[in-house]
């Protein structure tokens, strides 16, 4: 597997970036790995980095993006925070990744059996964690299919909220960042949400890339 250079990064399209992630997860599920020399990659990337994607995932110890998508050193920007929530610092990091460093795709990756989602479902109050979980609460409220037992003991409720949370965060990125919104509109980058199954290792992608039309609709709402 070749180490990404600026020239190689520039040639990758958003759709190709998504395909690379899909193919990497397929290898992961088959317990295969692309041939790469990590020490060599460390040396080759010591003077610069050209990741093709930025992945926002949960801090859960089972959800390392580089492993799930079979990527090496210098291939992806990895942002990890409980509940894969959005804040100003994360938006700034994504803007740097795409506008400055040239990444071609943003993936918001949730996962099954997420502790942060469960905490939000149970309205847990613990120090600074309460502030973080409040960012997930809108997804809890938006889940209206479940009428009874709206707690972490209801597995289907938890997974419904996790999916809503991912899709809300994709939309929030577009709503809050004009830089990212413009890059999507210009088809310079793509953005999608996905869910990682901690039992099977499979990543389910939602809606693939956001279309130009969708980003224009967001722009109109913010006008």
How confident is the model at residue 211, as a pLDDT?
Answer: 41
Of 64-68, 78-82, 97-101, 216-220, least confident by mean pLDDT is: 216-220
Judge whether residue 168 has pLDDT over 70: yes
Residue 53 lies in a domain: yes
pTM assigned to the model: 0.89
Judge whether residue 35 has pLDDT over 90: no
CATH of residue 210's domain is 3.40.1050.10
Categorize the per-residue pLDDT at 86 as very low, low, confident or very high, splitting at 50, 70 and 90.
Answer: very high
Average pLDDT, rounded, for the chain: 90
Residue 148 lies in a domain: no
**How far apart, in whole angstroms, are the C-alpha atoms of residue 24 and residue 150?**
35
Q: Which residue has the tokens 């390392």?
A: 64
Categorize the per-residue pLDDT at 70 as very low, low, confident or very high, splitting at 50, 70 and 90.
Answer: very high
Q: What residues make up the domain containing 53?
A: 6-112+173-222
Judge whether residue 99 has pLDDT over 90: yes
User: What would the two tokens of residue 186 be?
Assistant: 């210009």
For residue range 10-21, what is the model confidence (pLDDT) as tens digits? Answer: 999 999 999 999
Of 30-34, 83-87, 93-97, 98-102, least confident by mean pLDDT is: 30-34
How confident is the model at residue 207, as a pLDDT?
Answer: 66
Residue 20 lies in a domain: yes
CB 92 within 8 Å of CB 121? no
How many domains are there within the chain? Answer: 1
CB 42 within 8 Å of CB 85? no
Q: Please measure the distance between the N-terminal and C-terminal CA atoms of the chain and give it in whole angstroms.
A: 44
How confident is the model at residue 1, as a pLDDT?
Answer: 66
Residue 190 lies in a domain: yes
Judge whether residue 40 has pLDDT over 80: no
Residue 25 β-bridge partners: none
Residue 146 lies in a domain: no
Residue 130 lies in a domain: no
């Amino acid at each position: 597997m070749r180490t990404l250079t600026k020239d190689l990064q520039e040639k990758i399209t958003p759709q190709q970036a998504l395909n690379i992630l899909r193919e990497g997860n397929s290898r992961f599920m088959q317990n295969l790995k692309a041939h790469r020399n990590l020490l060599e990659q460390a040396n080759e990337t010591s003077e610069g980095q050209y990741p093709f994607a930025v992945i926002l995932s949960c801090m859960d110890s089972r959800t390392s993006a580089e492993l799930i998508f079979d990527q090496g050193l210098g291939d992806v920007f990895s942002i990890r925070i409980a509940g894969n929530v959005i804040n100003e610092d994360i938006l700034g990091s994504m803007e740097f990744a795409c506008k400055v460093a040239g990444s071609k795709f943003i993936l918001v990756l949730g996962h099954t059996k997420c502790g942060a989602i469960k905490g939000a479902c149970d309205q847990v109050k613990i120090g600074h964690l309460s502030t973080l979980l409040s960012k997930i609460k809108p997804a809890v409220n938006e889940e209206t299919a479940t009428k009874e037992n709206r707690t972490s003991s209801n597995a289907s409720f938890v997974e419904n909220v996790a999916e809503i949370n991912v899709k809300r965060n994709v939309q929030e990125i577009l709503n809050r960042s004009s830089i990212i919104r413009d890059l999507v509109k210009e088809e310079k980058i793509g953005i999608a949400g996905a869910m990682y199954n901690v039992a099977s290792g499979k990543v389910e992608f939602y809606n693939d890339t956001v279309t130009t039309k969708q980003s224009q609709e967001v722009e109109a709402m913010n006008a």
